[in-house]
Amino acid sequence: MAANMVRLRGGAWGPVRRFGLAAYRKYSSGGGCPNVPLTSPLPGVPKPVFATADGQEKFETKVTTLENGLRIASQNKFGQFCTVGILVNSGSRHEAKYLSGISHFLEKLAFSSTAQFGSKDEILLTLEKHGGICDCQASRDTTMYAVSADAKGLDTVVNLLADVVLQPRLSGEEIEMTRMAVQFELEDLNMRPDPEPLLTEMIHAAAYRENTVGLNRFCPVENIEKMDRKVLHSYLQNYYTPDRMVLAGVGIEHEQLVECARKYLLGVDPVWKSDKPKQVDKSVAQYTGGIIKLEKDMSDVSLGPTPIPELTHIMIGLESCSFLEEDFIPFAVLNMMMGGGGSFSAGGPGKGMFTRLYLNVLNRHHWMYNATSYHHSYEDTGLLCIHASADPRQVREMVEIITREFILMAGAVGEVELERAKTQLKSMLMMNLESRPVIFEDVGRQVLATNTRKLPHELCSLIGNVKPNDIKRVVAKMLRNKPAVAALGDLTELPTYEHIQAALSSKDGRLPRMYRLFR
């Protein structure tokens, strides 16, 4: 304040009083080059060199295979941080000959004590030095161990990942803690207001009854106490082998990642040492169709000032195709065209308010709370399904609305709605691939399945080539299959499986009429 109160000659405060000292100082107008316009380079200043992308090689995903079969894939990306991880071709679909729930247990046990690190805290402190975080996710067909950290700590990160995957201690105390964590997650799954994870489990179990991707992703309650180090080692011995792994990295140089892999992942004996021949389940998914029902009181799922009303949830699915087939892209466009969501979506650009499940279902039937399309795809099969929810008294009508939407998929496809779906799919793809962890997962999963990677511009080109006839063709093929049905809640008004199947085989998707003598 004192610095601004400078009294000028003659006693006047002048402009200082109004604007402060800074306003009183003579304004610098770049006197060195007064007549050079902003659009021209300054004389005597060297010409700037800007970063450029020469063709596609800057975006290319590089893949190297080591002598032991381990694949190393990397994608360079500008930035200080990198995401590195190990993806294993292992998941709940491989548990047919084992206790169900092993992958779920391994996911919770990840980044615990190892041969080098005495505890989880020690691992987290090591990562903290490089500003790093870690995560493990197990799905039906892949287990993924990932770390995001400063790129300068790459050597430490790869060393840590190798130790976590190949040298876990699996102590009695850690296994006991994991039992408690799994128990809590199972209780939470059955209590949460959003039933989507539970319905996804049920629709897979109905579509692929007791095989591959139909096996339970979560550990059944009766198996929690049976899990021990011996059971886990017997599974790890067969599925955690170098030829079933990919070390993927984003934001690092490929040669540097290969060097670290040779140092920490080549010639390393895992803690479950064994030279026995591997017994790997190579079963191909068998689509069976069918129905799984779970009668459940949903009236008290979400109590409070604004409780969620009692709803019955239905999911109907049909077999689509694997992500390795050419029809995968038309199915992805079809899923985007169906779209949908909840009845309380905020709307706005990109929210899918012009998709079929909004226009034909939620906008016309105010009593439906949800209508959403999902597409699950694996290396040997796929499942396109629609999830809907409504009051238990209107379940029959809701099921008929959904079966009619499946039949209408095979009808005329408007040019505008198709172009909108393709543009939205491209937009979603490109926006997701702005994120480094998403690029990492895309690189890892594609290389694990195909030993190569389709780049975003290739995928956008394939999406752009989808025609109305492609949609009709894949839908006609899909509708020839038996449906898979999952139902949760009060199922008093649920039509029989045979009636749902008959509706999907009819021309208009309507359920067979029921005549009751007494109402």
Residue 464 tokens, joined:
């752009």
Question: Domain range spanning residue 352?
Answer: 290-505
Euclidean distance between CA atoms 292 and 316, whole angstroms: 11
pTM > 0.85: yes
CB 320 within 8 A of CB 382: yes
The answer on pLDDT for 259 being more than 90 is yes
The model's confidence at residue 278, banded by pLDDT at 50, 70 and 90, is confident
What mean pLDDT is predicted for residues 302-325? 89
CB 311 within 8 A of CB 390: yes
**Together in a domain, 229 and 298:** no
**Together in a domain, 311 and 205:** no
Using only C-alpha atoms, the chain has a radius of gyration, in whole angstroms, of 29
The model's confidence at residue 369, banded by pLDDT at 50, 70 and 90, is very high
CATH number of the domain residue 222 falls in: 3.30.830.10
**Together in a domain, 213 and 360:** no
Residue tagged 């396109």 (tokens): 384
247 closest CA partner among 160, 118, 376, 169: 160
**Together in a domain, 227 and 358:** no
Question: What is the per-residue DSSP string for 8-19?
Answer: PGGG--HHHHHH
**Together in a domain, 242 and 295:** no
**Together in a domain, 323 and 259:** no
**Together in a domain, 495 and 436:** yes
The pLDDT assigned to 8 comes to 42
Angle among Cα 154, 79, 128 to the nearest 5 degrees reads 45
**Together in a domain, 387 and 326:** yes
Is residue 81 included in any domain, yes or no? yes
Is residue 446 included in any domain, yes or no? yes
Start-to-end CA distance of the chain, whole Å, equals: 86
Q: Is the dihedral of CA 474, 483, 381, 61 positive or negative?
A: positive
What mean pLDDT is predicted for residues 75-85? 93
The pLDDT assigned to 11 comes to 46
The model's confidence at residue 493, banded by pLDDT at 50, 70 and 90, is very high
What mean pLDDT is predicted for residues 92-106? 96
State pLDDT tens for residues 142-189: 999 999 999 999 999 999 999 999 999 999 999 999 999 999 999 999
**Together in a domain, 308 and 259:** no
**Where is 205: in which H helix or E strand?**
helix 196-207
Residues paired with 71 in a beta bridge: 65, 246
**Together in a domain, 422 and 474:** yes
Residue tagged 């670290």 (tokens): 260
Is residue 78 included in any domain, yes or no? yes
State pLDDT tens for residues 9-29: 444 444 444 444 444 444 445
The model's confidence at residue 516, banded by pLDDT at 50, 70 and 90, is low
How many structural domains compose the chain?
2
